[in-house]
Chain A
């Protein structure tokens, strides 16, 4: 877990730099999934909404939907994950970021969980 990130109950993280939100899944999420073998992401220019589905991540055994922490337009997509989905397991907060979004309302980000809150959320069995 990293302190400058905010977290969702669906186990995504977002890091806000100016108005750009970079989004990925948490270490807890990748552990629960097991070996990630497939990632499907939106295209640059697509609209995403807070709580809305923006893609899919699959491990050998499981399929999991990805939900956006914020509303906005996709400005960048990490296409490397198509070739190296396993980096989601190895580096979920770093090289395995998934999309960047031009965030409509930064207040959406501050409403998400802090690192401490997310830690407590996971420890409570979520």
Chain B
């Protein structure tokens, strides 16, 4: 049985093509009403798109020991956060590889919220419990909340029309709680598309009314509903990692290029994987996640073999046609010695080696 988000009826009405994703029945695109992955992707780059990401999990960490516990189980420096700040982070294992990548929100000194990947929710909660939270309680509140992502250059203008909160004062990776179309909501300036935008958390029961209000408010701004297909191509152009593809329990954070969410300063104290991650950051990892662009005809796909000088070294972790860049791009782990920008790679497509080249990432970066 597939789980349904509170917005299931909205998706069907908007012409969604539904697919199974991590146990959820989710919209891949809205091609039934004339949209599709490419149109939705381009709308987010030029105007705005509205995504249902309610399948993601929300875990509350509450109590005087919350900060100390989070410093011990996450990779980034939680002490940097003030009230209303959010932070990209991970739950590392002793090997330096992530159980999950997460966003940590600080509501106050004794209340933090972790947003976790849908398919990892049960695993994360079990992992966190096993780490022995002291001085704080851990509550999986995923079923109470819906999460919507309004992304694109017009996102702020659309949202500002529906809320008395001053969004200009909500910077990147900051959040505020207020009312949105009369409903109480948490508005965070975060996203997974490489564009400006907000992720909006509301009680599940309010989600359908909010979806409708946002779609109406965005009608004059070119807002479209956008599915998981566009979400994946947008995040790939921005070289944001997808758990289960680009990062998993076998890839360290430093290998994945996520050394910037690893804090090894003394004040953070020890945490899972600290020794390995500190060593890899100092001396460089043996392999690195790189971005590549196809130089010959062909589209790299997840799982296709990657060749260096004709010999297989790994497989493609993510690969797609990039709708905005109009190139075929992908990500893969390669030995550090072969990871320089400009180096050639072979991607094995249906038995033939097709030429690719390592390029600078992110593939796409918005003008600020």
A residues with CB within 8 A of B: 31, 34-35, 37-38, 40, 56, 58-61, 63, 82, 89
Contacts and interface: CB of A to CB of B under 8 A. Distances in A.
Interface residues of B, number: 19
A56 B350 contact: yes
Contacts of B28: 34, 61
Tell me the interface secondary structure of chain B in the complex.
mixed
B37 A34 contact: yes
A60 B31 contact: no
Given A35-B38, A60-B229, A61-B232, 5 more contacts: A34-B31, A35-B36, A37-B38, A58-B321, A60-B323
17 contacts: A34-B17, A34-B28, A34-B37, A34-B229, A35-B38, A38-B297, A38-B298, A38-B299, A40-B297, A60-B38, A60-B233, A60-B320, A60-B323, A61-B37, A61-B320, A63-B301, A89-B36
A101 B165 CA distance: 65
Nearest to A85: B321
Contacts of A60: 37-38, 229, 233, 320-321, 323
B124 interface: no
A89 B299 CA distance: 18
B29 interface: yes
B363 to A, nearest CB: 15
A64 to B, nearest CB: 12
A26 B323 CA distance: 24
Interface in B295-315: 297-299, 301
Nearest to A82: B297
A82 B296 CA distance: 13
Interface string B227-254: 0010011000000000000000000000
Interface of B: 17, 28-29, 31, 36-39, 229, 232-233, 297-299, 301, 320-321, 323, 350
A38 B321 contact: yes
Contact of A61 (B39, B229, B298): B229
A2 B39 CA distance: 28
Nearest to A37: B321
A6 B172 CA distance: 56
A35 B299 contact: no
Contacts of B299: 37-38, 58, 63
A114 to B, nearest CB: 27
A89 B35 CA distance: 12
Contacts of A35: 31, 36-39
Nearest to B321: A37
Contacts of A56: 350
Nearest to B36: A35
Contacts of B39: 35
Contacts of A31: 31
Contacts of A82: 297
Nearest to B322: A60
Contacts of A38: 297-299, 321
A40 B39 CA distance: 23
Nearest to B229: A61
Nearest to A58: B299
